[in-house]
């Protein structure tokens, strides 16, 4: 075993250094006592050099361990490995949790923005519903009024449409009349063109009628424009 393991043998015991040092120390002490490294001075007033090595301090000897692995070492190594593994797992868990938390915060922000948009849309719909309800009330009142008028009026009485539809002021009445004449002249010119294409009228009569209608239409359109300016309407 000594040849195989030499100084690394787990049961190898080194010799005690105290026994060796004691023998060597006694020999060196005797040699130091018999030898003086410096000459002794006989001059008066100068102390002589010491001849004994008693003033030199002795160096402590370090105790060398046996070199075997103790259970405490194994326990510390295992605990260090387990601690490193646990820290690594904790870092992974914390990283995953931070990523999920960031995703949840982003989703929460998106949901809050969507909530604000939905709130605005709901408010707009509520206002629109209120306007529709008000308009429905007005329409129902008008319908009831028309129904009452129809029930009280005689069915044999002839109703003039021009008397039923009228403007509120003379200016607006003139504006309405000019607009109606303008549209009627457009229709007349269109039907004259259709009659000419079918050969119902001659070209001379067509040009004559179109010239007269165009003059009247010009007057109505000029009057219509002046009425719009007077009524502060868009021209």
98 vs 154, more confident: 98
Q: What percent of the chain is modeled with pLDDT above 90?
A: 40
pLDDT of amino acid 159: 67
Quick one: which of 61, 57, 56, 50 has its CA closest to 21? Answer: 61
> Could you say which of 90, 125, 152 is where a domain stops?
152
What predicted TM-score, i.e. pTM, was given to this entire model?
0.35
pLDDT digits (tens, 9 = 90+) for 212-232: 999 999 999 999 999 889 888
Q: Among 24, 29, 35, which Cα is nearest to 61's?
A: 24
88 and 135 both lie in a single domain:
yes
136 and 91 share a domain? yes
Last residue of a domain, one of 152, 177, 211: 152
If one counts the domains in the chain, the total is 2
Q: Domain range for residue 217?
A: 168-231
Q: How many CA atoms does the CB half-sphere of 172 hold within 13 Å?
A: 7
- Whether 174 and 146 map to the same domain: the answer is no
Give yes or no for residue 128 having a pLDDT over 70.
Answer: yes
15 and 23 Cβ atoms separated by less than 8 Å? no
Instruction: Check whether residue 188 and residue 220 sit in a common domain.
Output: yes
Answer whether residue 219 is part of any domain.
Answer: yes
Q: Specify if 65 maps to a domain.
A: no
Residues 98 and 139 in one domain: yes
Q: Is residue 175 part of a domain?
A: yes
Give domain status of residue 35, yes or no. no
The answer as to whether 123 is a domain residue is yes
- Helices 203-230 + 170-198 axis angle, to 10: 160
Both 146 and 173 in a single domain?
no
Pairwise CA distance, residues 42 & 116, whole Å: 112
Looking at the structure, tell me whether residues 129 and 103 fall in a common domain. Answer: yes
Helix (H), strand (E), coil (C) string for 9-70: CCCCCCCCHHHHHHHHHHHHHHHHHHCCCCCCCCCCCCCCCCCCHHHCCCCCCCCCCCCCCC
* pLDDT confidence tier of residue 149, bands split at 50, 70 and 90: confident
Shared-domain flag, residues 148 and 194: no
Are residue 89 and residue 146 in the same domain, yes or no? yes
């Amino acid at each position: 075993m000594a040849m195989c393991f030499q100084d690394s043998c787990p049961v190898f015991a080194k010799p005690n250094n105290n026994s060796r040092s004691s023998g060597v120390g006694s020999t060196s002490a005797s040699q130091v006592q018999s030898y003086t490294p410096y000459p002794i001075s006989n001059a008066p007033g100068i102390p002589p050099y010491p001849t004994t090595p008693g003033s030199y301090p002795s160096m402590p000897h370090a105790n060398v361990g046996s070199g075997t692995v103790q259970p405490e070492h194994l326990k510390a190594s295992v605990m260090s490995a387990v601690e490193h593994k646990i820290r690594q797992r904790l870092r992974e868990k914390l990283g995953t949790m931070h990523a999920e938390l960031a995703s949840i915060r982003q989703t929460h922000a998106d949901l809050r923005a969507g909530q604000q948009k939905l709130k605005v849309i709901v408010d707009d719909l509520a206002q629109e519903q209120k306007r529709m309800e008000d308009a429905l009330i007005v329409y129902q009142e008008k319908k009831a009024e028309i129904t009452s008028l129809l029930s009280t009026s005689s069915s044999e009485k002839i109703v003039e449409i021009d008397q039923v539809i009228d403007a509120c002021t003379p200016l607006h009445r003139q504006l309405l009349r000019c607009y109606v004449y303008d549209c009627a002249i457009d229709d007349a010119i269109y039907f004259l063109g259709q009659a000419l294409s079918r050969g119902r009228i001659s070209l001379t009569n067509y040009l004559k009628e179109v010239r007269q209608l165009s003059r009247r239409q010009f007057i109505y359109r000029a009057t219509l424009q002046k009425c719009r300016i007077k009524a502060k309407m868009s021209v």
